[in-house]
């Protein structure tokens, strides 16, 4: 069952699994909700952690806003306010794909709020992507349905996960037409002293970006998962869990 929390102008829907220190997950997209993270490769991390997944503003069961509110800084501020309410104190943050862009921008603004940072298949920018015109939510579903098989290098395409997703055209348009073209934090990330795990599938198009981050961030560990694409927690869930568990349970300096 989903819980809800009210921020200044919007409700955010979220779910939690497990007990212990909080790990908040940020879904990518934009335009899709957090349903694709609610899979064994992620949720079984809840053995001694409290996994918290929420639909970002404009997505899934969370509230909608005017298109001009769908900005990186607004999504980052939502995360700050959401975490203060559900996970006060330093927390671990996992960001996948576009969620990794938001996670990096959050970490650069408020590094003292983070205990650990986990980035999966993402980039510090720039990201070149020119989306087609998408008329509505149904059109966005069709767009993602055509792209979905290419996220996976093997024969298993995880259509059952796709069928659980909901699609939101307005934040997709705002993110990819206005926000993404100006996203580039490469000149700032070397200052991040947060312990960071980078996880990327060997066949993910973001592998080069992740290798660059591994060379640039001062306290980082890179794990390349063989035979995996853009969603390694679906392609190789055991390898993904092992990588994240090992990082979260590493000896503390």
Report DSSP state, residue 225: E
**Across the chain, how many H-helices and E-strands are there?**
9, 8
Residue of 22, 18, 26, 21 lying closest to 44 (CA atoms): 18
In this prediction, residues 197-208 reach a mean pLDDT of: 98
Asked whether the beta carbons of 39 and 232 are under 8 A apart, the reply is: no
**Rounded distance, CA 181 to CA 228, Å?**
27
The pLDDT of residue 8 is 86
Task: Give the Å distances, CA to CA, from 206 to 81, 126, 139, 164, 234.
Answer: 29, 11, 26, 25, 16
- Kindly give the residue spans of alpha helices, DSSP state H, lying in 33-167: 40-43, 72-86, 98-109, 137-147, 159-162
Provide the greatest CA pair distance for the chain.
51
In this prediction, residues 217-222 reach a mean pLDDT of: 97
**Rounded distance, CA 52 to CA 54, Å?**
7
- Helices 98-109 and 72-86 pack at an angle, to 10 degrees, of 70
Fold type of domain 3-248: Rossmann fold (3.40.50)
pLDDT grade for 164, boundaries at 50, 70 and 90: very high
pLDDT grade for 49, boundaries at 50, 70 and 90: very high
The rounded radius of gyration (Å) of the Cα atoms in the chain is 17
From 55-59, 128-132, 154-158, the region with the lowest mean pLDDT: 128-132
Which single residue is written with the structure tokens 């993904």?
Answer: 240
Asked whether the beta carbons of 59 and 171 are under 8 A apart, the reply is: yes
Asked whether the beta carbons of 161 and 35 are under 8 A apart, the reply is: yes
Q: Point out which residues pair with 119 in neighbouring strands.
A: 95, 198
Structure confidence by residue, pLDDT tens digits, 87-134: 999 999 999 999 999 999 999 999 999 999 999 999 999 999 888 889
Calculate the CA 75 to chain-centre distance: 12
pLDDT grade for 59, boundaries at 50, 70 and 90: very high
The pLDDT of residue 122 is 98
The pLDDT of residue 131 is 87
As given in the structure block, the two tokens for residue 57 are 């503003």
As given in the structure block, the two tokens for residue 23 are 């790990």
The pLDDT of residue 1 is 62
Per-residue pLDDT for 253 more than 70? Answer: no
pTM of the model: 0.98
In this prediction, residues 187-195 reach a mean pLDDT of: 97
The pLDDT of residue 2 is 82
């Amino acid at each position: 069952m989903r819980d809800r929390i009210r921020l200044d102008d919007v409700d955010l829907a979220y779910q939690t699994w497990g007990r212990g220190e909080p790990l908040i997950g940020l879904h990518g997209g934009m335009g899709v909700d957090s349903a694709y993270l609610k899979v064994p490769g992620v949720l079984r991390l809840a053995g001694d952690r409290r996994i918290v997944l929420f639909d970002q503003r404009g997505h899934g069961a969370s509230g909608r806003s005017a298109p001009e509110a769908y900005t990186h800084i607004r999504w980052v501020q939502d995360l700050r306010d959401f975490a203060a309410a559900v996970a006060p104190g330093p927390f671990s943050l996992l960001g996948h794909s576009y969620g990794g862009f938001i996670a990096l921008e959050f970490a650069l603004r408020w590094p003292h709020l983070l205990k650990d940072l986990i980035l999966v298949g993402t980039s510090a920018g720039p990201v070149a992507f020119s989306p087609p015109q998408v008329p509505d939510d149904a059109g966005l579903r069709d767009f993602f349905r055509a792209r979905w098989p290419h996220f996976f290098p093997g024969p298993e395409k995880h259509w059952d996960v796709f069928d659980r997703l909901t699609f939101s055209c307005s934040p997709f348009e705002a993110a990819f037409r206005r926000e993404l073209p100006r996203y580039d934090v490469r000149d700032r990330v070397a200052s991040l002293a947060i312990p960071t795990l980078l996880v990327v599938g060997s066949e993910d198009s973001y592998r080069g970006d992740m290798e660059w981050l591994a060379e640039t961030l001062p306290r980082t560990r890179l794990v390349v998962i063989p035979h995996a694409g853009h969603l390694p927690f679906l392609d190789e869930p055991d390898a993904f869990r092992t990588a994240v568990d090992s990082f979260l349970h590493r000896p503390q300096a």
